[in-house]
């Protein structure tokens, strides 16, 4: 498995314009990796059955072709069900991955089974015997492939955090969250720690998935709720929705870009959801918190490099990847952020607790009045 060793040994620098380890691992697998797996599985068949002459080359060539075919079919299936996969939430995350691992193993097994049967035709093997040999091959190669992708993935959000009820993560001071519904057609309001059902406070026309809410201050030192529309900085459009919603909120007025090498001139502020990452502001302080969010899903949510609290929460796998956006610290070490396209979450990093607060996007947190 030379491709596995190559993927583990070659250092990959994580930056916004270089991609992530998982992206490069996938490219390596779809190009050279299948060649190495095919040689491994073909070699095992030759060793187990003592194949000679013509059947020697049939085993090697057949398994190489079978692995390329199964990998590309799997890639196309993932692309086809992308919309369905994005509907998964934290509540079903672990069962989803167990199912994905099982289904991918089964699909690969079924696709390579006829090839193994064709290779074993000289030995008069039945379809049942060919299936047993195919299973044995996968019992060797599949764990190696899982380990390879696992080493390049970010799974700490799934493995290192406990999913708890929102009532376990209540800030010491009352906070209200405004956010867009999943379809972007409604502005919802919900108080953190309250049992009341989220209420609709404004109706909108559904628009870009990058739309989000933000706060601007008025001349009377009160804060108005605004909607930021558009996917790219050139298409941004701001619209005021509600006036005087609070007397304390995070107002975005910095022109500093979180990754200056992407756009040296800086991002226009406020930034849409797709670009709203970087240092995490604090609701009750004029200075930023010790936390930051990254551009790529694997960067997720982490503590700043100069912080003594080392941690990272991320999810980037071949099956599912969620970016962290629109984060704010609402109490000491208590964060609210958007996870993926439509989950609004609460997190307390020191105790590794995570809660699904609401389904929606583009949230903004204000002090309750």
Judge whether 157 lies within some domain.
no
User: Same structural domain for residues 233 and 105?
Assistant: no
Please tell me the predicted confidence (pLDDT) of residue 267.
45
Distinct helix (H) and strand (E) counts, the chain: 8, 18
Please tell me the predicted confidence (pLDDT) of residue 305.
65
Q: How far apart are CA 81 and CA 113, in angstroms?
A: 24
Please tell me the predicted confidence (pLDDT) of residue 17.
54
User: Same structural domain for residues 169 and 144?
Assistant: no
Give per-residue pLDDT as tens, 181-218: 999 999 999 999 877 689 999 999 877 778 899 998 87
- The model carries a pTM of 0.84
User: Same structural domain for residues 88 and 220?
Assistant: no
* Structural domain count, the chain: 2
Please tell me the predicted confidence (pLDDT) of residue 306.
64
Q: Which helix (H) or strand (E) holds 335?
A: strand 334-339
Q: What is the span of the domain harbouring residue 172?
A: 162-367
The contacts of residue 1 (CB under 8 Å, 6+ apart) are 36, 37, 40, 144, 148
| Ramachandran category for residue 218: left, alpha or beta (phi over 0 → left; psi -120 to 50 → alpha) | beta
Q: How far apart are CA 89 and CA 68, in angstroms?
A: 31
Please tell me the predicted confidence (pLDDT) of residue 76.
83
Please tell me the predicted confidence (pLDDT) of residue 82.
74
Q: Is 198 helix (H, G, I), strand (E, B) or coil?
A: coil
Please tell me the predicted confidence (pLDDT) of residue 231.
65
User: Same structural domain for residues 258 and 148?
Assistant: no
Judge whether 73 lies within some domain.
yes
Which DSSP letter does residue 271 get? Answer: P
Judge whether 121 lies within some domain.
yes
User: Same structural domain for residues 128 and 175?
Assistant: no
User: Same structural domain for residues 143 and 262?
Assistant: no
Low-confidence ranges of the chain (pLDDT < 50): 1-16, 254-268
Please tell me the predicted confidence (pLDDT) of residue 254.
43
Q: Which of 212, 205, 358 is nearest to 275 (CA)?
A: 212
User: Same structural domain for residues 105 and 205?
Assistant: no
Q: How far apart are CA 209 and CA 229, in angstroms?
A: 9
User: Same structural domain for residues 122 and 201?
Assistant: no
């Amino acid at each position: 498995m030379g491709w596995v060793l190559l993927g583990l040994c070659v250092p990959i620098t994580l930056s916004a314009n270089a991609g992530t380890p998982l992206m490069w691992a996938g490219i390596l697998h779809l190009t050279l990796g299948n060649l190495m797996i095919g040689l491994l599985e073909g070699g095992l068949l030759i060793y187990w059955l003592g194949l000679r002459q013509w059947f020697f080359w049939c085993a090697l060539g057949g398994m190489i072709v079978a692995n390329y075919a199964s990998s590309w079919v799997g890639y196309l299936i993932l692309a086809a069900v992308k919309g369905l996969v994005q509907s998964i939430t934290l509540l079903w995350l672990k069962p989803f991955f167990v199912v994905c691992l099982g289904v991918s193993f089964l699909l690969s097994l079924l696709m390579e089974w006829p090839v193994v049967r064709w290779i074993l035709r000289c030995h008069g093997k039945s379809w049942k015997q060919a299936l047993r040999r195919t299973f044995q091959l996968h019992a060797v190669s599949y764990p190696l492939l899982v380990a390879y992708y696992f080493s390049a993935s970010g799974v700490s959000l799934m493995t290192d955090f406990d999913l708890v009820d929102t009532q376990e993560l209540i800030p010491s001071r009352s906070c209200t969250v405004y956010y867009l519904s999943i379809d972007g057609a409604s502005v919802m309001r919900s108080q953190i720690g309250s049992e009341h059902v989220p209420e609709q406070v404004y109706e909108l026309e559904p628009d870009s998935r990058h739309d989000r809410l933000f706060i601007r201050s008025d001349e009377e030192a009160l804060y108005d709720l605004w909607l930021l529309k558009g996917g790219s900085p050139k298409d941004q459009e701001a619209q005021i929705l509600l006036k005087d919603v609070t007397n304390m909120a995070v107002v975005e007025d910095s022109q500093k870009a979180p990754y200056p090498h992407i756009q040296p001139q800086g991002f226009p502020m406020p930034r849409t959801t797709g670009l709203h990452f970087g240092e995490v502001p604090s609701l009750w302080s004029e200075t930023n918190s010790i936390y930051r969010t990254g551009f790529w899903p694997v960067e997720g949510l982490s503590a700043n490099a100069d912080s003594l609290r080392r941690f990272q929460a991320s999810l980037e796998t071949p099956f599912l990847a969620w970016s962290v956006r629109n984060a704010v610290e609402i109490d000491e070490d208590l964060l609210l952020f958007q996870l993926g396209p439509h989950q609004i979450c609460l997190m307390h990093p020191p105790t590794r607790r995570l809660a699904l607060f609401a389904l929606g996007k583009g949230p903004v947190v204000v002090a309750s009045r």
